[in-house]
């Protein structure tokens, strides 16, 4: 009998504690264990003093790791004690119980391991273990926060900085990505200068000196932060945002020449239908839209010429690092032609290029971009859609670091409190 008692206690990881198994009942869908004190010794959860008397006792129910398809329930007789370290009644210390849930610590460890595998959502884990969704959410939040507190940011050399909206109405988070490893290494609230300053302050001036390139959009607060903390780093414009700005200016040209001008309503409707044709690159234009492009040349020649001028700008990205001077000459010629067109949209984009010529040329010098950052943004959008949005900003930033960064990669269970 003593051997069987030892085996049962070992099965439930009760060895080394003041508790032991006294009964076990098995049903078709669950197993119930009854656990009591071994020798009437009670431990204070605050000072860990051993007491021989208690104020009262009460049966509580804890949920443990399931055995196969059967739920495992622990019925534990816990005591309330009055210790000299406090004038209030306290529940005795139970090392096998999780801190904030009616679960065992080893069950919480298993849930954490499944959550950190990145193979299941919170809802999936709740259904898998038949535990309340809110409880799984709290466990996930706690483990991510614990891992983040012990996470070390790697030494970055080439980084990309981008912003991501997380809620309606100009609410953003700033995401810093290590381009060499393709992982997010920092997330902070807002898209202000202070948001990026936090990252540089955390890694310190010594590691800031190791940063060689910063790929980003031409957001002014980010530029000011980089000039202050990493002045030696080469700022590289993101081709994605440059092309996005070009398409916006092209749309402005369409409105200027078609919508706001005195053109017959029939022709205006036809030009409006060709809106998406103007956004296509010539090499990606489907054959069914080629006729529409020819029709545009007949309906509005200035708009067609603006489209041709827009297409010529893409040749800039084909230059190699050894052809920086040729690329600069190309930009100058393109700017001159844009001003000759007398179109406000193209002129605005020409001014945009003129202000940021040096940063645009760094695209050619380094052959780098923030494409990895845009890919992570797409992944975050999927993450938001799966969760139907996040109310807690801290939890959202932790999930970004888990799904798009290195958080949770080296998970280890939280240590039991020492008796």
DSSP string, 51-103: ES--SEEEEEEEEEEEETTEEEEEEEEEEEE--TT-SS-EEPP-TTB-SSSSB
Which residues have C-beta within 8 Å of that of residue 308, sequence separation ≥ 6? Answer: none
Domain contains 394: yes
pTM of the model: 0.83
Same domain, 258 and 334: yes
Last residue of a domain, one of 74, 97, 120: 97
Same domain, 328 and 396: no
Dmax over CA atoms of the chain, in Å, equals: 100
Last residue of a domain, one of 51, 82, 97: 97
Per-residue pLDDT at 59: 92
Same domain, 215 and 283: no
Same domain, 234 and 244: no
Domain contains 294: yes
Q: What is the 3-state secondary structure (H, E, C) of 155-216?
A: CCCEEEEEEEEEECCCEEEEEEEECCCCEEEEEEECCCHHHHHHHHHHHHHHHHCCCCEEEE
Domain contains 169: yes
Domain contains 215: yes
- Judged against a pLDDT cut of 60, whether residue 115 lies above it is answered with yes
- Judged against a pLDDT cut of 80, whether residue 94 lies above it is answered with yes
Domain contains 127: no
Domain contains 134: no
Q: Which residue range is the domain that position 395 belongs to?
A: 158-238+370-404
Per-residue pLDDT at 261: 59
Domain contains 105: no
Same domain, 249 and 344: yes
Per-residue pLDDT at 374: 87
Nearest to 175 by CA among 183, 166, 163: 163
d(CA 181, CA 204): 20
Domain contains 245: yes
Same domain, 340 and 200: no
Same domain, 204 and 254: no
Last residue of a domain, one of 77, 97, 117: 97
The string of pLDDT tens digits covering residues 169-218 is: 788 999 999 999 889 999 999 999 999 999 999 999 999 999 999 999 88
Is the pLDDT higher at 386 or at 274? 386
Same domain, 259 and 353: yes
Confidence of residue 369 (pLDDT cuts 50, 70, 90): confident
The string of pLDDT tens digits covering residues 243-291 is: 889 988 888 887 777 665 566 777 667 676 676 677 777 777 777 777 7
- Judged against a pLDDT cut of 80, whether residue 292 lies above it is answered with no
Contacts 24+ apart (CB under 8 A), 104-107: 104/62, 104/63, 104/64, 104/65, 104/74, 105/414, 105/416, 106/13, 106/64, 106/65, 107/63, 107/64, 107/65
Confidence of residue 415 (pLDDT cuts 50, 70, 90): low
Same domain, 290 and 331: yes
Same domain, 326 and 186: no
Same domain, 288 and 213: no
Same domain, 224 and 248: no
Total domains present in the chain: 3
Q: Residue 395's domain is classified under what CATH number? A: 3.30.420.10
């Amino acid at each position: 009998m003593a051997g069987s008692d030892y085996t049962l206690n070992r099965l439930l990881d009760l060895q080394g504690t003041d508790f032991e198994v006294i009964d076990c009942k098995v049903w078709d869908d669950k197993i119930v264990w009854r656990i009591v004190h071994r020798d009437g010794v009670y431990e204070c959860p605050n000072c860990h003093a051993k007491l021989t008397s208690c104020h009262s006792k009460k049966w509580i129910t804890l949920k443990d790791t399931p055995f196969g398809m059967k739920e495992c329930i622990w019925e534990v007789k816990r005591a309330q004690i009055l210790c000299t370290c406090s004038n209030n009644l306290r529940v005795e210390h139970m090392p096998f119980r999780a801190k904030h849930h009616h679960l065992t610590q080893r069950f919480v460890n298993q849930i954490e391991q499944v959550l950190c595998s990145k193979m299941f959502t919170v809802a999936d884990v709740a259904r898998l273990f038949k535990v309340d969704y809110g409880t799984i959410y709290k466990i996930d939040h706690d483990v991510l926060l614990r891992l983040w507190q012990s996470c070390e940011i790697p030494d970055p050399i080439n980084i990309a900085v981008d912003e991501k909206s997380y809620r309606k109405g100009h609410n953003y988070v700033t995401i810093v990505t290590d381009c060499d490893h393709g992982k997010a290494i920092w997330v902070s609230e807002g898209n202000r200068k202070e948001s990026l300053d936090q990252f540089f302050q955390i890694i310190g001036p010594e590691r800031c000196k190791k940063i060689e390139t910063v790929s980003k959009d031409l957001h002014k607060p980010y530029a000011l932060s980089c000039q202050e903390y990493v002045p030696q780093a080469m700022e590289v414009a993101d081709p994605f945002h440059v092309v996005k700005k070009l398409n916006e200016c092209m749309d402005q040209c369409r409105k200027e020449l078609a919508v706001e001008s005195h053109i017959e309503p029939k022709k205006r409707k036809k030009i409006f239908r060709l809106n998406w044709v103007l956004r296509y690159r010539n090499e990606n234009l489907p054959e069914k839209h080629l006729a529409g492009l020819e029709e545009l040349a007949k309906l509005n020649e200035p708009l067609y010429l603006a489209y041709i001028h827009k297409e010529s700008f893409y040749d800039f990205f084909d230059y190699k690092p050894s052809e920086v001077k040729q690329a600069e000459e190309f930009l100058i010629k393109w700017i001159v032609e844009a001003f000759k067109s007398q179109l406000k949209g193209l002129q605005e984009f020409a001014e945009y290029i003129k202000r940021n010529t040096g940063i645009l040329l760094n695209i050619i010098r380094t052959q780098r971009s923030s494409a990895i950052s845009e890919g992570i943004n797409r992944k975050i959008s999927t993450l938001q859609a799966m969760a139907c949005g996040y109310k807690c900003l801290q939890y959202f930033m932790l999930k970004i670091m888990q799904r798009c960064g290195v958080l949770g990669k080296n998970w280890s269970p939280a240590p039991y409190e020492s008796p």
